[in-house]
């Protein structure tokens, strides 16, 4: 285990999630649908919310940003604005029951990089934050009550690309505890540091540095939310139109709640051996003259022959 890290000349004074130029009153939702994609990948839809509006038949995801306020520690020798070249942000989805990283804990840089999502590693659990470099946005977001001489504001963008895809491979289950499990998005503010062969902290540029680490400084947590299967929540108009309108039996409900259900399986159960004419005879005999033929006598003879033929075939 690494030794005691040196005291930082700055501390994280505040953090928050936000969406630049977004006028929606609510950033996060209390429930998200999750759909299965190719290769077993699972994506949260409409995360963190539909912005600027909902997109049908798409991932309907958007980027999310993290604002971090760093302030100079009272005990620091220098009162200059803190240097933050080594500060980074990594985010991931977690169930509230998962074991999380805590401030002062360290993760090897190689381990974090190997688990970070990319076009070549869609199954990675970590989303790396991209630091916002333009000074205009940072200046706009700076808290007016804090003096600029002893603090600095940082902004990191998560999934900052069109049609952002938020992958979450949490394994759900059929039991009630799993279905009601709460989840959060946690963003870890970390410092890039290094240790020597004896696990003593040294400078990143030191010749004695043999292992690079990310040390957790602060954790930003979203409000809790639940995750449900996209097929279990037919709230979209396109999906609702494909669901059965009849009252489902117990077997139908169990099949409907199965995670492997597809639209092709959501059908009204009928006797497969019955012909269309026979079904019409059983279900709505009073409408036969209007549905089949103007001549009731001819219609009845046809139905009788069909029934006799069907019986012989069986």
What's the pLDDT at 22? 87
Q: Is the pLDDT confidence value at 158 over 60? A: yes
Residue 41 confidence class, pLDDT cut points 50, 70, 90:
confident
What's the pLDDT at 55? 80
Residue 251 confidence class, pLDDT cut points 50, 70, 90:
very low
The half-sphere exposure of 74 on its side-chain side, counting CA atoms within 13 A, is 0
What mean pLDDT, rounded, does the chain reach?
73
What's the pLDDT at 156? 97
- Among the ranges given (35-44, 97-106, 232-241, 274-283), the one the predictor scored with the smallest mean pLDDT: 232-241
Three-class SS state of 152 = strand
Strands (E) in the chain, as ranges, are 10-18, 31-36, 42-44, 64-72, 87-95, 106-108, 127-128, 130-131, 151-158, 166-167, 182-195, 201-202, 211-221, 225-229
Nearest residue to 213 via CA among 189, 239, 192: 192
Q: Does 191 or 308 have the greater pLDDT score?
A: 191
Q: Is the pLDDT confidence value at 298 over 50? A: no
What's the pLDDT at 8? 75
| Cα–Cα dist 157/179, whole Å | 30
What's the pLDDT at 67? 96
- What is the domain partition of the chain in residue ranges? 10-231, 234-313
Three-class SS state of 254 = helix
- Stretch 178-193: mean pLDDT, rounded? 93
Residue 257 confidence class, pLDDT cut points 50, 70, 90:
very low
Q: Does 20 or 219 have the greater pLDDT score?
A: 219
Calculate Rg over the CA atoms of the chain. Answer: 30
Q: Is the pLDDT confidence value at 196 over 50? A: yes
Q: Is the pLDDT confidence value at 79 over 70? A: no
């Amino acid at each position: 285990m690494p030794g005691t890290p040196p005291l930082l000349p700055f501390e994280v004074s505040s953090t928050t999630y936000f969406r630049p130029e977004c006028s929606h009153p609510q950033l996060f939702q209390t429930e998200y649908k999750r759909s299965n994609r190719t290769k077993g990948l699972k994506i949260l839809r409409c995360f963190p919310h539909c912005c600027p509006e909902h997109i049908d038949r798409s991932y309907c995801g958007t980027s999310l940003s993290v604002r971090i306020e760093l302030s100079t520690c009272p005990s620091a020798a220098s009162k200059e604005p803190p240097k933050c070249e080594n500060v980074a942000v990594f985010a991931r989805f977690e169930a509230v029951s998962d074991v999380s990283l805590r401030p002062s804990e360290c993760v090897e840089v190689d381990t974090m990089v190997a688990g970070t999502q990319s076009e070549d590693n869609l199954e990675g659990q970590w989303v790396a934050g991209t630091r916002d470099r333009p000074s205009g946005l940072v200046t706009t977001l700076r808290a007016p009550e804090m003096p600029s001489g002893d603090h600095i504001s940082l902004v990191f963008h998560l999934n900052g690309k069109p049609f952002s895809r938020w992958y979450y491979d949490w394994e759900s289950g059929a039991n009630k505890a799993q279905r009601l499990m709460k989840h959060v998005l946690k963003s870890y503010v970390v410092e890039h540091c290094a240790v020597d062969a004896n696990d003593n902290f040294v400078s990143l540029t030191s010749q004695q540095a043999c292992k690079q680490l990310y040390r957790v400084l602060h954790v930003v947590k979203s409000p809790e939310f639940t995750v449900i299967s996209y097929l279990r929540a037919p709230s979209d108009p396109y999906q609702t139109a494909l669901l059965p309108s009849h009252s489902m039996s117990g077997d139908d409900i169990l099949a409907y709640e199965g995670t492997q259900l597809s639209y092709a399986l959501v059908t009204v159960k009928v006797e497969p051996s019955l012909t269309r004419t026979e079904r019409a005879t059983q279900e709505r005999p009073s409408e036969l003259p209007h549905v089949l033929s103007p001549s009731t006598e001819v219609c009845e003879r046809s139905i009788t022959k069909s029934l006799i033929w069907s019986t012989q075939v069986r």
